[in-house]
Structure 1
Amino acid sequence: MITSALIQKYNTPAPRYTSYPTVPLWENNVNSEDWNELVTKSFSLYGKEEGITLYIHLPFCESLCTYCGCNKRITKNHAVEDPYIDAVLHEWNNYLKLFGEKPKLAGIHLGGGTPTFFAPESLNMLLSNILDSSIVLENAEFSFEGHPNNTTRDHLQVLAELGFDRVSYGIQDFDETVQKAIHRIQPFEKVKQATEEARQLGYSSVNFDLIYGLPYQTKMTLADTFEKVVELAPDRIAFYSYAHVPSSFPAQKSYEAHLPSELEKRELYEFGKQKLKAAEYVEIGMDHFSKKDDPLYLAYEKGTLHRNFMGFTTTPSKILLGLGASSISDIYLAYAQNEKSIDSYQSVIAKGDWAITKGHLMTAEDLIIRDFILDLICNHRAVISRDIWDALGESQLDQLGEMQAEKLVDLDGNQIQVTQDGVLFIRQICKVFDNRLQNQKKELVFSKAI
């Protein structure tokens, strides 16, 4: 049983584990010359057969959503589109030179910012160039993040013609007071229109992003939000915990006094989860829910669910290349992140160099722990190998013992299973096995786990 004492104990800062090691703990031991060699090696080992996945960061937004922690630039000047697309295509061509052949594409995801800030014609130019220089695998997944207010039928049509059949709409909450506080005002009718048009144009999957723990949220307002969500019946739902980090995102200070308490936030999560269960959505991985006929759920059932910087996916590709400012590449052997500054990114890429500002070369131990944490998050169970047991310190073993006593995990020999109650604390469970973080002496900034 989850008690308020448990919530208080474990509602401390923890990584979201979109990678291991997490970005603040990268050793930054990868330069441009290393990257050339590592990408070539990784492509030869993994990319030729299973293909590669692309994440393209499109960072512009016309207005600021105050809850958002993404890398973005606020502007209404659409003249920024062409120079940015030129830089992204230049970066892509740098990779093509390393491959020496047309790569197989297992997936593309457009994130932001607001990808639909870009005109349909601009997106067509960008993606057509990439697709013309690639071989698209039969089961490739092409998806994008859409803002319901500016995702037009033309956007949906152009992207559908390019092979996109998955769209994720950032809803967050339908309550008007909440929307005003977070500066994300989008009427239900706009969301309904964007959802229906996607389905009319043949999109096989519509996802809604929702957030709990926002200012002015109550069970009553959340009940109304979920009533509207159920009416539109998205195929997938991401139900995230609001990450309050005003030291990094000062705009969040504007509503600090109106955030729910830790206990209230927990109750909002449980309330939303029950609403989703009643609507026949099943919880998978971390923060995600889907219908039982959705490929994501089927992958979860088979134990083949995968997770990368883009989120949960059925595509197991080991190579994820990030294109654009601030984007992160994961080539299994190493990580690299691009310049966050759009101007700096474009300037460096124009000179023919990589725009890498941080990176990490994976050690043998990193790879073992990474795969283990990935199993825990995706499947809620994993095998604790002898290498992992031997690497755990006394305090980590004590933490694991406490979690077992609290019925958050079940331990059976070398098997660990996250319990139903433990799913809420999955970030803290992963943290026990995070040797780099456990051995870190300086304080790092993460959002609270719950």
Structure 2
Amino acid sequence: MRDSAHVQGYSKSTEAGRRPAPRTPSPRERGEGEDIAIIGGGIIGICAAARLAEAGRNVTVFDRTGICEETSSGNAAALAFSEVLPMAHKGMIRQLPKWLADPLGPLSIPPAYLPKLLPWLVRFWRAGWSDRYEASLTAQAGMMKLAEAEWMALLDRSGTRGMLREDGSLELYESEAEFRASLPGWAARERFGIGFRHVEGEELTTLQPGLSPRFVKGTFVPGWKTVADPKLLGKAVWAYAQTKGARFEMARIEHVAADPDGATLTLADGTTRQARHLVIAAGAWSHLLARQLGDRIPLETERGYNTTLPKAAFDVKRQLIFSGHGFVITPLETGLRVGGAVELGGIERPPNYARSKALLQKAQRFLPGLDPTGGREWMGFRPSLPDSVPVIGCAPGGRSVVYAFGHGHLGLTQAAATGRLIRDLVLGQAPPIDLAPFSPKRF
């Protein structure tokens, strides 16, 4: 590891009166191109950059808007290490018809988008079959165990542990029938050592005072964690990556090409960049870049909505999960975030903020006394694969390109683990978990 004096551009002998040692130019400054280029300045790209820079590699992140400025800025702030169930589990499949009948419900599909979405929906349905469900569940459980260890270590190394909140989560049910329907999912979690307890009565109201009496039971997950604000955390981890030498270039990448010796990135202004290794972590746009390399990966876009209210809107003690309605309420350092739901509508349609308004109206019913004024609406694109398992692995065409996308609702949760796995792939080291379930070739 380089000492701090060398990082500043001076040798230790500077204090003895000698001339400063010359700074070693980067590969780009030497005209050799990039060592490692990462497309995507969201939390996945940030964590990959941090891990590679820690390993002493020269890393440049490319993004069209900035660091942690798009989907990673407005998520629900959860480190949801217990969320191992694939989206296509049986409970969700049963609820699909009811949800789709409500245009402002937990899941909606614009009718004009349905023909394009049908192949993905067929894959999603098949992912719920028992053998595929079990494979996805096992893969996610292993990923989550790694994610928790990697996040705790990265928070410590980056000096951001103070942004972690360990208050647990409270999932809420409006009827005994809804509670009983949740039990198979909790049994599956229990198989992997995930702790929880079902609560009701006084214990329920103690965990969250002011709840509507419509909620008869809840499940408290003590190991669930959140962060003070996802955008602030992402920028803080990036600041740490910069201290290790990572660089940022604001640019829209129009085209990528690769051969065994590296990759070529073509920017919107027509200029190009060469890189020995390319990491594609561009979220909902990643599959478009992968297609340029000859890989067709069935990624779809879950458009998520939220409203961030002032902190004083309601005293929420921990993240509240309304699974029957597909949204959560999270207390942040910067406000109270009410958001979630899924609109499978691609990346080109304009936002439908009636969805965020509908969530806010429900929140008012569930938390009587909630002040809905002064909120800021937001919509983001979650990159989702039909089996709920991200793509993490080398592109089939060669080891110079690595994919890291498709995390769905779990990008923040799995970012540190993905960063570790990307580092291992680029450095040619053995990963700590089996990457076969995450392979881009599985489709």
Pairwise same-fold verdict (TM > 0.5): no
- TM-score, normalising length: structure 2: 0.26
- TM-score, normalising length: structure 1: 0.26
Larger Cα-atom Rg: 2
